[in-house]
Each structure stands twice: as C-alpha cells, then as structure tokens.
Amino acid sequence: MNKVIKILTAAGAAIALASCSTPQNIPYFQDIQEGSADSVETARMIRIMPGDKISIIVNSRDPYLSNLFNLAYATRYVGTTNSETLASAQSTGVQGYAVMEDGCIDFPVLGFIQVAGLTREEIALKIKNMLIDGGLVQDPVVTVEYLNLKVSVLGEVMRPGRVSIDRDEFTIMDALSSAGDLTIYGVRENIKVVRSENGVRKTYVVNLLSAKDLYSSPVYYLQQNDMIYVEPNDVRARQSTVNGNNVRSTSFWISLASLLTSMTSTFVILFSK
C-alpha cells in the first residue's frame, strides 16, 4: 500500500516539475578557461551592395568649394553664400546616396561612380583621388558612413527587430547585444544565421556555449541583411501552444498533475479502510 502511494506521489511531482523546469545550458562561453586563447575568424570589412544607402561628406580648407560635393548643400542651397545658412544645412544632416542596381551612385559634379563591392575606406579614397586628379579640390577629406545597413534579429531576444550596423567588423554578439540579449528561454547552442550569397540563401549554426566555435564561425562577423534567429526551448514552446488542450501545453500538464494527485488521495482513502 505505502509503495503504491509513494510511486503515485513521485509521478505526480515529476510531472508538475516538468511543466516548470528551466533550461540547463544558460551561460555563454562554457569552454573558456583563465588564460585560454582562441583564434578569431578573419575580420570581414563590410562591402557596399546595390540597395544600400550611404552618406558621403567632403571637407576642405575652402568650405564653399567642398560644399558643392555635399548632396544636401547642392540640392537645397545652390547659389547660397550665407555662412549661417550653410551651417544650418550641415546641422540637419546630409542626404544619402542610394546604390543603384548597377552598383553606382550619382555623385555631384563627378557623375556616376562605381561603389558596389568596395569598403567605406575604399570609397572615400576613390572619391578623394577623383577630386584631386580632376583639379576640383586640392585638399579633400572624404568621410563615408552607413545609413540603412541593418541585420534582423528574431526569436527569443528581448527586443526583436532590425538592428543598425554602425561600424565595420560588426559581430553577431554586437547584434544580440543591440537586441537586448537572449531571453532565458533562448536556445544558445543553436543560433541560426541566414545569409544571401551570390543569389543563394545559406544557413549557418552558431553555438554561444562554445567560444571556440563562435569565434571560428564564418558568420561571427555579420554582413548587411543577415537574419539571426534564436529558437525557443521546450519550456517556451509549451507555454506558447495556442490550443490549451494540446498535450504540449502547460495547462495540460497541470491538469494531469492535479488528476494524479486526486487519484493518489483516492487510493489513500480506499486502502486505509
């Protein structure tokens, strides 16, 4: 009699605990030891693609001359000689250049310039040389910034959505940090990164539990338009079930645990007589 009661009680407790169990693999970089060193995937500089938007600012010792090559000034303030007006234009920011399908941008005075496949530094150097070689500006300083480069972070993160790439060598950890990090329900060893390469979508798997695997991953450094997906663990999957009667739902397990508890009480009453 006592043995039956113990078995039923243990079964009920096990089922109840299963409904509120917590994932085991939570800490990142579990293979890191003090003084350990792991090689990192070679840094990949972000290269501009068709559809990207960039800002290009030209400065020199002659601001009136260099302003001819700054898009906002050229389109809004052509013929303006008032320095206060020009300063106001600069404070509002410079309009961006959309990279066309053929990889070109339409730059003031210089015309169409091929920029697809180039890094920010390479674009800046190319425009600087064109200005000097054309005798247009003798001492140009060209600055190139990203405007619409983003990656998507979906799934079990605090703030899913689009994350802006604000610098070169933008890593998957940078993107996850910008999204508020993973929730406690995110599967850390199976992060998926989807990337379009030469017209083909490839999916890579990243394991955040292993620093060695993370740093050597080909997607440790992200590119624009990458998509990161953090899948939910089993606990979250049970909680997210739409059908309350589904066998995976939390309510089902709670109901089953309650039923077993009632059955245990009934057995106690019957066998005690």
Q: pLDDT tens, 133-165?
A: 999 999 999 999 999 999 999 999 999 999 999
- Average pLDDT of the chain? 80
Q: pLDDT tens, 10-61?
A: 555 555 444 444 446 788 888 877 766 766 777 888 999 999 999 999 999 9
Q: What is the 3-state secondary structure (H, E, C) of the chain?
A: CHHHHHHHHHHHHHHHHHCCCCCCCCCCCCCCCCCCCCCCCCCCCCCCCCCCEEEEEEECCCHHHHHHHCHHHHHHCCCCCCHHHHHHHHHCCCCCEECCCCCEEEECCCEEEECCCCCHHHHHHHHHHHHHHCCCCCCCEEEEEECCCEEEEEECECCCEEEECCCCCCEHHHHHHHCCCECCCECCCCEEEEEEECCEEEEEEECCCCHHHHHCCCCCECCCCCEEEECECHHHHHHCCCCCCCCCCHHHHHHHHHHHHHHHHHHHHHHHC
pLDDT tier for residue 250 given thresholds of 50, 70 and 90: low
Q: What angle do CA 95, 96, 97 make, to 5 degrees?
A: 135
For residues 136 and 247, which has the higher predicted lDDT (pLDDT)? 136
CATH label, 150-232, candidates 3.40.50.800, 3.40.50.2300, 3.40.50.1000, 3.10.560.10:
3.10.560.10
CA distance 168 to 261: 59
Q: What is the mean pLDDT of residues 121-133?
A: 96
Domains 53-146 and 150-232 alike in fold: no
Kindly tell me if the per-residue pLDDT of 93 is higher than 80: no
pTM for this model (two decimals)? 0.70
Percent of the chain at pLDDT > 90 equals 53
Would you identify the CATH topology of the domain 53-146? Answer: wza like fold (3.30.1950)
CA distance 121 to 127: 10
Task: Provide the residue ranges of all domains of the chain, joining segments of one domain with +.
Answer: 2-22+241-272, 53-146, 150-232
